[in-house]
Amino acid sequence: MMTVLNAIGEMRAASRGWRARGLRVGLVPTMGALHEGHLSLVRCARKCSDVVVVSLFVNPTQFVAGEDYSIYPRDEGADIALCQREGVDAIFIPDALIMYSADHSVVIVESDVSKGLCGAFRPGHFTGVLTVVAKLFNIVEPSVAIFGQKDAQQVCVIRRMVRDLNIGVEIVDAPIVRESDGLAMSSRNRYLSESERRSALAIFKSLREAESRFRSGMTSADELVAAVRAALVREPGVKPQYIAVVDADNLAPLQNVDRRALCAVAAHVGRTRLIDNMILDPAIRSG
Ligand code: AMP
């Protein structure tokens, strides 16, 4: 039986109860509007823990002014049903008024890996993410938390927080889950019209283009970025915000892909902002 918990105290008490019985608690933080990408994290959590907790919270502090907070898809009933079917043990659905006191005044700021890529275009976003993730860690006290590689910079920023603040939570990342044609799954795909949905596929195709160029010997980051850009301009419905090839571990700029690199794209399709990425790994290039 899955438990639905709304109160912070109840969530913490439940988690402490499990841990007292020697069970390992795995947390999957989400903003709801669940899809197969989220469910893959749940399955991953199941493998590396005994009790799986999904949190469902559209965190207001990670939306920048003018973004889609007020219209972000919310479908609690469907999310609860999906979690139940997936064998989730508990779902934590706090209210924004419970999560943030009216006069809350402490945040977590990361000042290196959060600066580039999405951070450059969404000022304050990663402060909101880190603050809510730290709060969820303090409430749920999990042994392990699972995050999707779809938000590669987010995983990197969270790993940095855990390392630098000595937080005792193991961070596991899970691969990107895609639609059958390759579009990365995202709650925001629900915003796309039929024609936008067709255009959006160009993002995945442009990343695959970079991957295939890389496999056939192109290692210059500038050239790879140019290849992605050239592939994207063929689709007028897609307006790239950034295209980057950076060190996959610390997101630092790279001249040449001589180590694991992250090729990342953010683009607008109509009014919807989508992100996607691929890892370019010299160790498997020749394979
Ligand atoms: P969100 O609800 O969009 O905040 O996402 C919650 C978690 O699900 C984050 O760790 C995301 O990286 C992960 N996630 C979202 N979409 C995907 C996807 N297509 N594949 C894998 N993980 C995903």
How many residues belong to the chain?
287
Span 28-76, pLDDT tens digits = 999 999 999 999 999 999 999 999 999 999 999 999 999 999 999 999 9
State in Å: Cα 69 to ligand 1 middle: 17
pLDDT given at position 287: 46
pLDDT given at position 285: 64
- Which tokens sit at 186? 């995202």
203 lines ligand 1 (CB under 6 A): no
Q: Tokens 């979690």 map to which residue? A: 83
pLDDT given at position 198: 98
pLDDT given at position 284: 83
Phi-psi region of 57 (alpha: psi -120 to 50; beta: other; left: phi over 0): beta
Query: Which pTM value belongs to this model?
Result: 0.97
**List of the chain residues with pLDDT < 50:** 287
Question: Between the CA of residue 12 and those of 5, 141, 222, what are the distances in Å?
Answer: 10, 7, 48
- Name the residue of 27, 36, 41 to mutate for ligand 1: max ligand atoms within 8 A of Cβ: 41
**For residues 48-63, b (16+ Cβ closer than 10 Å) or e, as one string?**
ebebbbbbbbbbebbb
Active-site residue list: 38
